[in-house]
Amino acid sequence: MSFFPVLLSPICILCAARTQRFFNICAPCERDLPILSQSCFKCAQPIFSANNEALICGFCLKNPPPFDATFALFSYEKPIVGVIKKLKFHGELSHAKALGELFLQRILDDWYREKPLPELIIPIPLHPKRLRERGFNQALEIARPIAKKLQIPIDLWETKRIKHTLAQSSLEADLRHENMKNAFEIRGNFRGKHVAVIDDVITTGSTISEFCRTLQAHGLVKIDVWCVARR
């Protein structure tokens, strides 16, 4: 028996075991991931629904967000916290591919099973200074396998972050909105389009909201938000 298939098979990023799957999270580890099953349809804040209906939380009812829906894969818990941190701060790009493949499963089997897919995927842009420091945009890397499989183009040039902001994680909730104010610029024509905006983590939603407000001002018809984890 040849050893080559075994040697070339992916290694699970969580337990380091060889897996016969086409991406690098084994089935047992995937079953242990903190799936976000019930959440606000608008912002993905965890919310209980007795009959699993799509509910909208009280905050979104009072303050409608500048996007139509948020689809979050996970709660921001172990081991997803570690996966995201290794991607962002240690350059483990294989983690982005694994997260993208998990996104694909939910997109095809659940979120868009009976709905039209977006026409364009827009990763939340990084400021050029942060992009140089990190070397990559984690949202873009997560989006790549999704776009390739679904044959949806990715916006790479028409949206820019023009304000070098403090890291949102370093700020209190009430300062995050001011930190992101006027942070983005839109250079393309998105009028009439249905797009998906993708990011790794949503906490207060300040970054996503400011970006989507800027997009809305350019005539977008529908904005869906995709994120790996909701805090």
How does pLDDT run across 135-173, given as a tens digit for each residue?
999 999 999 999 999 999 999 999 999 988 766 666 666
Same domain, 160 and 181: yes
Residue found under tokens 């949503």? 202
| Amino acid present at 204 | T
Residue 187: both structure tokens together: 């250079």
* pLDDT of 2: 46
Query: Rounded to whole angstroms, how far apart are CA atoms 193 and 129?
Result: 30
pLDDT one-digit tens code per residue, 177-230: 677 889 999 998 889 999 999 999 999 999 999 999 999 998 888 999 999 999
Calpha distance 91→191 (Å, rounded): 35
Same domain for 130 and 184, yes or no, is: yes
Same domain, 57 and 121: yes
Our CA angle for 227, 58, 62, nearest 5°, is 100
Residues 167 and 83 reside in one and the same domain: yes
* Inter-residue contact 38 to 46 (CB < 8 Å): yes
In this structure, the answer to whether residues 6 and 59 fall within a common structural domain is no
Q: Give residues with Cβ within 8 angstroms of 120, minimum separation 6.
A: 152, 153, 154, 155, 190, 193, 194, 195, 196
Is the pLDDT reported for residue 60 higher than 90? yes
Which helix (H) or strand (E) is 70 found in, with range?
strand 69-75
d(CA 44, CA 36): 8
Model pLDDT, residue 72: 97
Q: Are residues 69 and 122 in the same domain?
A: yes
Residue 1 has pLDDT above 70, yes or no: no
Residue 71 backbone dihedrals phi, psi, to 5 degrees: -115, 110
My answer on whether 225 and 112 are in the same domain is yes
Residue 23, pLDDT above cutoff 90 = no
pLDDT per residue as tens digits for the range 24-56: 999 999 999 999 988 999 999 998 776 667 789
Residue 126, pLDDT > 90, answer: yes
67's tokens: 């996007």
Per-residue DSSP letter, 39: B
Residue 59 burial (CB < 10 Å; 0-12/13-18/19+)?
Answer: middle
Number of domains in the chain: 2
C-beta neighbour count of 189 within 10 angstroms = 10
* Amino acid 174: pLDDT: 67
**pLDDT band at residue 20 under the 50/70/90 scheme:** confident
CATH of the domain at 170: 3.40.50
Whether residue 27 sits in one domain with residue 68:
no
Q: Which domain holds residue 149?
A: 37-230
Report pLDDT for 21: 84
Widest Cα–Cα separation across the chain:
64
